[in-house]
Amino acid sequence: MRKVLLSLVVMLSVFALFAADEAKTVDAPAADEAKTVADVTTVVVPTIAVLPFEARTRTGEQNNDGKSIAELIGVGLLESGNVDLVERAELEKALTELQLSAIGMVNMASQNKLGKMIGAKILITGSMFRSGEKNYIVAKIIGTETSRVLGCSVSGTGEFSTMTPELSKKIGILIEKSSEKILPKMETGQSTLTSLAETVKGNDRKVYVQATESINVSVPDPAAETELKKLLLGLGFSVVDTRDGADFILVCEAVASQAGSYHKFTSAQARVELSIFDKNQKLLVTGSAKETLAGATYIIAAKDAIAQAALRLSGELFPVMK
């Protein structure tokens, strides 16, 4: 996947979860660079997937043009320097696995499934048609997690392909202007805890957490493990050091890699997988999440991205332990 950052939302990092004195530390030589994420600013980097546009014409000749229009829009957005774009091959693979049609996708549940699989926060789709003496391209910008839909269009007497640069520019401006509406809010430890506390009661039950993490540095800081344990303790569970006698076992794998740069910011894409087993080793639930964030250094961006993905997964999967 090619990475280009979208400098949309700059905010204080959300991962100082329950108290300011719970700052994280790492061993040298990373300690100076990997400051606590509570002390830095981060930039949200949404991932966008452009689906083939539907050709509403009298013949089916322009169906291939619908794919070309999507490609051209993607190229235009990349050239603007404001997006993180899902590659076509990854998108098509996900569509095949989910048995979904790329054209005319209107079901929000399907959009959410696709977005989750490829890590896309925004899907762009639309249609192209002719009315009277003009050609029109209408684009829909869909928030896969917020269910918000925005739209924009272009028209002209020229070929569809000649209108895509203008449409790409409009889409980029609209996403930047409306980012707070279409993108999901960043999770915090407190917001996740509050949401889960309504249904999940630890009652001092024992949980063993096994977490591995790789961010391609010599001394990684266990960001995912830290967030998971804080949530468990906040919900009233007892975190234990051995599987023996544990009521639940959490197995977490987290990996992050550098995803590009934008001025002083460095981005990282993280993927976190989490599985929850009961005391009999029976798998209760499993899931994965992707996040792309940027920070003052790669280590900060990677830790933030992993922590954010872990929080989102916890919100989805922890209710199995209610």
Give all domains of the chain, ordered by start, each with its CATH number: 10-43+187-321 (3.30.160), 47-182 (3.40.50.10610)
pTM score: 0.76
What is the arithmetic mean of pLDDT over 194-216? 95
For the cut 90, the answer to whether the pLDDT of residue 85 exceeds it is no
Q: What pLDDT does 105 receive?
A: 62
pLDDT of 16 above 70: no
Q: How much is the average pLDDT of 34-54?
A: 69
pLDDT above 70 for 32: no
Q: Which of 195-199, 213-217, 229-233, 269-273 has the lowest mean pLDDT?
A: 213-217
* Spatial CA neighbour of 47 closest among 122, 102, 136: 122
Instruction: Tell whether the model's pLDDT for residue 252 goes beyond 80.
Output: yes
